[in-house]
Amino acid sequence: MTKEPIVTPELVAAHGLKPDEYERILKLIGRPPTFTELGIFSAMWNEHCSYKSSRIHLRKLPTKAPWVIQGPGENAGVIDIGDGQACIFKMESHNHPSFIEPYQGAATGVGGILRDVFTMGARPIACLNLLRFGSPAHPKTRHLVGGVVAGIGGYGNSFGVPTVGGSTGFHKAYDGNILVNAMAVGLAKADEIFYAKATGVGNPIVYLGSKTGRDGIHGATMASASFEADAEEKRPTVQVGDPFSEKLLLEACLELMKSGAVIAIQDMGAAGLTSSAVEMGAKGNLGIELDLDKVPCRETGMTAYEMMLSESQERMLMVLTPAKEKEAEAIFRKWGLDFAVIGKTTDTLRFVIKHGGEVKADLPIKELGDEAPLYDRPHVPTPERAPIDPAAVSPPVSNSAALLKLLGSPDICSKRWVWEQYDHLILGNTIVAPGGDAAVVRIDDGPKGLALTTDVNARYCFADPVEGGKQAVAEAWRNIVAVGGRPLAVTDNLNFGNPERPEYMGQFVGCLEGIGEACRALDFPIVSGNVSLYNETQGAGILPTPAIGGVGVVDDVSKAATIAFKGAGEDILLIGATAGWLGQSSWLSVVCGREDGAPPPVDLTAERRNGEFVRSLIVTGRATAVHDLSEGGLAVGLAEMAVAGAIGATVDPLPPGPNHAALFGEDQARYVLTCGASETAAILAQAAAAGVPASRIGATGRDALRLPGEQPILVATLREAYETPLPAYMAGEHPEAFN
């Protein structure tokens, strides 16, 4: 047995532990830690696992509602969706690994989040993602987009879950630090949810799944530090995914859960065996003793340190009922997976690691989690920006030219090139496929379904974290409403820069304030999530990007709305008030080359009122097409509806004021919908009675979009502007719309 290295200050620093944090360890255990113990502390106390910079702020978020079965703190959040069914979901980042090795980084991001969901007893039914890449002009961007998309598809397609939605955006702030956030959604019976909490003394702790190798050692520590120029050298810390093993693990776990053998289950994700074992013990007020000689290893000569920190994928830890051990083993053997009893629960509250007959670690199990450092980092609020007067910005090009440019711009253009590489149709329940507002996935044979979306506008968050945070939640809520769903709960993935810098910490605190306010106002609690800090490279932080994953229920999927115009001669209604807000708009950024001003304010009362009105029109079948308005405003919204339906539209003269502001302003709480012309008067009267701003702005028909004061633009021209830039870019060209 090789002798462990001596713990020196350099070694402590190399583990990402600050001197005062090391002092804390010494005080806690009353002696210097062994090398293995140092590794365990570094795994448990890094930012990724301990949330040491974010915990005190996360506590302020609303996490409860009568329909919330399990909020944050477990593998995933759980909500009651009626009929004895529960929806289990979570979103998680895999940013740093994906920048280093895009295919495997993204693939294992998907694998990790799927495991979080089926660990709780759910069968995954949908995946989504939120991706942010650097400027299309950056030399690495094309390679990263190609690798990440292939990785997400490679894992999800093979595992057999449809990837039904997402959001893909670009900004130079992500040049050195892309974002790959993956979300998984599963279903279980509401009374058959499995948790991580171990019970009973002397119960076997069982290792299941793939073998342990040296891959991913210190992955969580890497995810908790800023990138320097040496990022490429960290490639060996990226794990390698095997969706085939994960699929087998899913089937074996669900079969095992049905047998009644499982007391507690935890997947081995970040910080692998260390984190999973400690969590099971600490949650159950029990000690854990592991004998690493029993761990199935892929490589020979692995040390205790390596085994405890490996992030090899597709592994699970369970506490089983002793009487059912044989039955459990037979199930795993049938699926060709490893099954090994590697330890037991104890009443000592110690975390004891044995290897080769020696005790390599003996630590107080609860303190490993509970006594992790907690910081109230200094934070400064982001300075307020002045709103932009629409009349003071003269349009550099015609509104038609602006529309075509916006439709082809990197953030707005069709992402078909991306989602056609994802199997979004497997399981046969994808009612509303990618390319609309929220995706709709039917549950079994229906009529109920789930509406799913991921959203954030990081430009808004950067300019005003509080309003930007509110807007991200409001937009997720609105996207669910726009398909006819009842928004129920949120998973958040908080991607920010270095928390040790007060301006970045200020962005974090501000966004959380806005998110909390919106979630409270919209009864849209946060049930799970993930915090990813230190997203910066060589001192440059990303835009604050709190990704919001929203889940809602559609009571009858046959009534779900889509964005496509359905027929000619229908009236087009605009719901919500338009002031022509141009600050931080896509028009200002893409057409004028300016990112300034204050982002649009979010009126949560109006948001709720307008949204509930729109949903009432959808569920009663009176709205034939619905689209929420967001980036690019009214003009882009109408163009997308026309392209999706292959039907044109004629828009009436706009109210007084600059046309470019009315067409491209990004005022919130707005929707465009279509209805039969005979319905219009009644709908407008009903809106007036409900205090919802609504007006008829035109009608569908013919083969072109006719905007007031502009030459008609053929729908075919709109489609070409919208569909061609991304495939062209990925084929190595430099489409003009991407400049």
Give the separation between CA 518 and CA 363, rounded to whole angstroms.
42
Q: Spell out the residues 6+ positions from residue 599 whose beta carbon is closer than 8 angstroms to its own.
A: 457, 459, 460, 463, 464, 467, 468, 471, 583, 584, 666
In whole angstroms, give the CA distance from residue 95 to residue 493. 11
Question: Residue 259 or 421: which CB sits closer to other proteins?
Answer: 421
Specify the residue, 65 or 150, whose C-beta has the smaller distance to other proteins. 150
CB 630 within 8 A of CB 624: no
Shortest spacing between CB 247 and other proteins, in angstroms: 6
For residues 449 and 599, which CB has a smaller minimum distance to other proteins in the complex?
449
C-alpha to C-alpha distance for 239 and 245, rounded to whole angstroms: 14
Shortest distance, position 559 Cβ to other proteins, whole Å: 11
Catalytic residue at 424?
A: no
Coil, helix or strand at residue 98: helix
Residue 283 corresponds to which tokens in the numbers above? 């949650």
Cβ 434 to other proteins shortest distance, Å: 10
Between 427 and 518, name the residue whose CB sits nearer to other proteins.
Answer: 427
Place of tokens 């089983």: 320
Closer residue to other proteins in complex, CB, 60/258: 258
Asked whether the beta carbons of 545 and 93 are under 8 A apart, the reply is no
Question: Is the Cβ of residue 253 or residue 319 nearer to other proteins in the bound state?
Answer: 253
Could you give the 3-state DSSP secondary structure of residue 604? helix
Any catalytic annotation for residue 48? yes
Nearer to other proteins, 164 or 363 (CB): 164
CB of 505 to other proteins, least distance (A): 41
Task: For the CB of residue 431, give the shortest distance to other proteins in the complex, in Å.
Answer: 6
**What distance in Å separates the CA atoms of residue 536 and residue 542, rounded to the nearest whole number?**
6
Q: How far is the CB of 422 from other proteins (least distance, A)?
A: 6
Q: Which of 94, 171, 218, 379 is catalytic?
A: 94
In single-letter form, the type of residue at position 598 comes to A
Residue found under tokens 């959604």: 185
> How far apart, in whole angstroms, are the C-alpha atoms of residue 315 and residue 212?
8
Q: Say how far apart CA 431 and CA 557 lie, in whole Å.
A: 7
Name the residue nearer to other proteins (CB basis): 427 or 694: 427
Provide the 3-class DSSP secondary structure of residue 62: coil
**At its nearest, how many Å lie between other proteins and the CB of residue 161?**
8
Angle ∠(620,622,624) on CA atoms, nearest 5? 120
- Among residues 48, 424, 627, 660, the one annotated as catalytic is 48
Question: What is d(CA 660, CA 562) in angstroms, rounded to the nearest whole number?
Answer: 26
Q: How far is CA 609 from the centre of its chain?
A: 27
Cβ distance to other proteins smaller for residue 387 or 446 = 446
Q: What share of the chain is helix, strand, coil (3-state, %, to 5)?
A: 40, 25, 40
Cβ contact 515:61 at 8 Å: yes
Q: Which residues pair with 698 in a beta bridge?
A: 572, 651
- Please report the DSSP string for 605-632 in residue order: HHHHHHHHHHHHHHHTT--SEEEE--TT
Shortest spacing between CB 283 and other proteins, in angstroms: 33
By beta-carbon proximity to other proteins, the closer residue of 209 and 499 is 209
Burial 155-167 (b: 16+ CB within 10 A, else e): bbbbbebbbbbbb
- Per the structure block, which two tokens stand in for 208? 């299941």
d(CA 517, CA 599): 17
Nearest-approach distance from CB 168 to other proteins, in angstroms: 16
R_g (Cα) of the chain, nearest Å: 26
CB of 423 to other proteins, least distance (A): 4
Which parts of this chain interact with other proteins (CB under 8 A)?
150, 153-154, 157-160, 242-245, 247-248, 335-336, 419-431, 442, 446, 557-558
Active site (catalytic) residues? 48, 94
